[in-house]
Amino acid sequence: MDGSLHEQGQRAAENAARTSYGRLLAYLARQWRDVAAAEDALAEAFSRALDIWPVQGVPANPDAWLMVAARNRLRDGVRASKTREKTMSSLLVLAPTESEETPAIADKRLELMFVCGHPAIDPAARTPLMLQTVLGLTAERIASSFLVSPDAMARRLSRAKARIKDTGIAFEVPEENELEERMGDVLEAIYAAYGQGWDSTGSDDRTRKGLTEEAIWLARVLVELRPADAEALGLLALMLFCESRSAARRVDGRYVPLADQDTALWTLSMAREAEDRLRVAGGLKQPGRFQLEAAIQSALVQSRLTGADLRLPIWTLHGLLAQKAPTIGNLVGLAAAAADVHGPEAGLRELAQLPEVLTMEYQPFWALKAQLLQQLGADPQGTATAFSRAIGLTEDGAVRAYLIGKSTQQTGSL
């Protein structure tokens, strides 16, 4: 076997799985009205690609090859069913012909996200369903974002897919009034996808690293669809602010916190676009969570670039955000902001109010607690315990090395 041919085929199949899975699944699911069946067919198509492409070579249009293979698998399933005649007649009308090129699927991906936000689906499953079916995240990864067990998340997703199939939920772009009702879940899914990619900065997980670009792209499409939606603009601004600093977060493999980053490595054009988007959002007079988060990022960027002391307004913004969206992440962020303004004791008091069931496995909580205890210098054992928890809960090797280094110091900041 030609070694180079084998490597090219395998690499092409892996690349298609990383970059095209969600788009292909969105198209198949819309055509066949069955997310689970589309997932199975697409998984078999990728499996065949891994067997065939390394031997016969990569097809001219890998996505079209995968689409045809998955579509044929779905048709085979229909032929094997007892309701072959009835189902086949409807599918043949819906399905494209073999000669069609793979369509522009961008709209269909967003469309499927709105389908997953249908009111008939359990609210707790809507965003996770978008993350799995459209963006290709595993139940394990999704579970980590929602602080639940992988088994619980897998059951939640299975029930949601069964609900779509059993109730015959329409795979159509909702009406304008329905779009408004489902926007929150779609925005949450895009943000969660970005967070997964952001957390993988510096890692070798190419699937997760591509999520940052994918999330920003989907947010841009969403803003084009709804240019007067302030929260869509706010989310895009938030991700652009964060992404503008991406190159400075890792230097020679080392994790670099915001306070120590070289601003010369920032992509200032991206930060300027973020400011513009946030300004437009503010002019719409529709305050919301993502605009507040973007405003915090804006203040952090301005503080580093100008040297201005913006700790007080940042703390105020964190307080408003915690009221608007009291998630564990936002409450820990408020504690950090309180410590910046009022000292480490104030931050620790905020942390002490958080429920243990939410903080026990939440790495940022322990990292902040370790930092604040270290600054006080009065509880070496508690400090060591907090650092140990933070280090143990850290998946990123560079961040782990950074925390280990900090844990050996008498004082420090994250």
What is the percent of the chain with per-residue pLDDT over 90, rounded to a whole number? Answer: 46
How many CB atoms are closer than 10 A to CB 259? Answer: 10
pLDDT, average across residues 38-55: 82
pLDDT tens, residue by residue, 69-104: 888 888 876 554 544 344 333 333 333 333 344 333
**Residue 336 placed within a domain:** no
Domain that holds residue 35: 1-96
Residue with tokens 């190159």: 247
User: What is the pLDDT of the chain when averaged over all its residues?
Assistant: 83
206/357: higher pLDDT: 357
Is the residue at 297 inside a domain? Answer: no
Single out the residue of 214, 219, 213 nearest to residue 231, CA to CA. 219
User: H or E segment at 47?
Assistant: helix 35-56
**Does residue 103 lie in a domain region?**
no
Q: What is the pLDDT of residue 291?
A: 98
The reply to whether the predicted model has a pTM over 0.85 is no
Long-range contacts of 17-23 (CB under 8 A, 24+ apart): 17/46, 17/136, 17/207, 18/206, 18/207, 18/210, 19/210, 20/62, 20/63, 20/66, 21/46, 21/136, 22/109, 22/133, 22/134, 22/135, 22/136, 22/214, 23/63, 23/105, 23/106, 23/108, 23/109
Indicate if the pLDDT at residue 243 is higher than 90.
yes
48: in domain: yes
pLDDT band at residue 414 under the 50/70/90 scheme: very low
Does residue 49 belong to any structural domain of this protein?
yes
Compute the average pLDDT of residues 326-345. 97
- What beta strand segments (E) does 71-166 contain? none
SS3 call for 255: strand
The verdict on residue 247 lying in a domain is no
Mean of pLDDT values over 375-403: 94
Cα distance between residue 273 and residue 279, in whole Å:
10
* Residue 396 token pair: 């990123």
Type of residue found at 255: Y
pLDDT of amino acid 261:
96
pLDDT at residue 393 is higher than 60? yes
Who has greater pLDDT, 125 or 337?
A: 337
| 6, 55, 243 from 272: Cα distances, Å | 45, 48, 12
The predicted structure's pLDDT at residue 18: 64
**Is residue 61 domain-resident?**
yes
| Distances 236 to 149, 226, 240, 268 between C-alpha atoms, Å | 30, 12, 6, 15
- Rounded to an integer, what distance in angstroms lies between the CA atom of residue 350 and that of residue 327? 14
309: tokens are 């002391």
Distances (CA, A) of 173 to 90, 118, 121, 185: 20, 11, 16, 15
- Whether the per-residue pLDDT at 314 is higher than 90: the answer is yes
**CB neighbour list of residue 345: distance below 8 Å, 6 or more residues apart:** 376
- Which among 274, 271, 273 has a CA at the least distance from the CA of 305? 271
Count of the separate structural domains present in the chain: 1
**Do the domain assignments include residue 319?**
no
- Using 50, 70 and 90 to split pLDDT, how confident is the model at 331? very high
Helix axes 230-244, 268-283, angle to 10 degrees: 160
Pick from 67-76, 119-128, 153-162, 359-368 the range whose average pLDDT is largest. 359-368
Considering only residues 175 and 121, tell me which one the structure prediction assigns the higher pLDDT.
Answer: 121
Whether 404 shows a pLDDT value over 90: the answer reads yes
Over pLDDT 70: what percentage of the chain? Answer: 84
